[in-house]
Every structure is written in structure tokens, then in C-alpha cells.
């Protein structure tokens, strides 16, 4: 029989950590990758974020709310990466 944790870790910390890493990965791709290769590398970065989200939530060690935590991590990262990539796309359209 399992005993409840006395002081369980905060689940929001793992979700926000994935968002921060998604932000850093998106900015890194936008800065260091040429314009014609940004979209494929954004997809690679998002795939890594999905795997990271699973890893972080499995490390958390609680089954209650696992799907909601993973979905929140992935959805928030997707929205964040989309908004930043729109900014890079608009910047690419502006004349230099």
C-alpha cells in the first residue's frame, strides 16, 4: 500500500520549466539557424520539448493529473514557440 507524500513537489514547477526551455530553444533556433532551415529545426526542437515534458512529469512521480500536466506543458510550449516564430517570420519579411 502506498502512503501519501507528506510534502509533494509543486507540479507547476515542471510545467513552467518546460516552457522556459522551450523559450530558450526557440530563441536559439531563431538566432543561430539560417532562415531557410528554421521551420525544420523548430519541429525538431518541439519534438525534444515533448520528450522533455514526458521526462519531467515522470520524474515528478505522481500519477494523479499526469495527462493534464503533460498537456499543459506541451500546449504552453507550442503556443510560446508559435508566437516567437511568428516574430522571427515578421522580422524576416522586413527589409534589412
Q: Among 3-7, 22-26, 49-53, 58-62, which is the least confidently predicted range?
A: 3-7
Residue 41, in any domain of the structure:
yes
Residue-level pLDDT at 6: 65
Residue 5 lies in a domain: no
pLDDT beyond 60 at 18: yes
Question: What is the pTM for the complete model shown?
Answer: 0.86
> What does the alpha-carbon distance between residue 87 and residue 93 come to, in Å, rounded to a whole number?
10
pLDDT of residue 29: 96
Q: Is residue 82 part of a domain?
A: yes
Q: Quick one: pLDDT at residue 11?
A: 75
Print the domain residue range for 63: 11-93
Residue 95: per-residue pLDDT: 83
Domain count, the chain: 1
Assess if residue 1 is contained within a domain.
Answer: no
Amino acid at each position: 500500500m502506498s502512503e501519501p507524500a507528506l510534502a509533494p513537489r509543486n507540479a507547476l514547477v515542471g510545467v513552467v520549466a518546460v516552457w522556459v526551455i522551450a523559450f530558450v530553444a526557440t530563441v536559439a533556433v531563431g538566432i543561430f539557424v539560417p532562415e531557410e532551415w528554421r521551420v525544420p529545426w523548430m519541429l525538431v526542437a518541439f519534438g525534444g520539448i515533448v520528450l522533455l515534458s514526458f521526462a519531467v512529469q515522470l520524474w515528478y512521480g505522481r500519477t494523479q493529473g499526469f495527462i493534464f500536466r503533460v498537456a499543459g506543458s506541451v500546449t504552453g510550449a507550442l503556443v510560446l514557440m508559435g508566437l516567437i516564430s511568428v516574430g522571427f517570420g515578421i522580422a524576416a519579411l522586413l527589409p534589412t
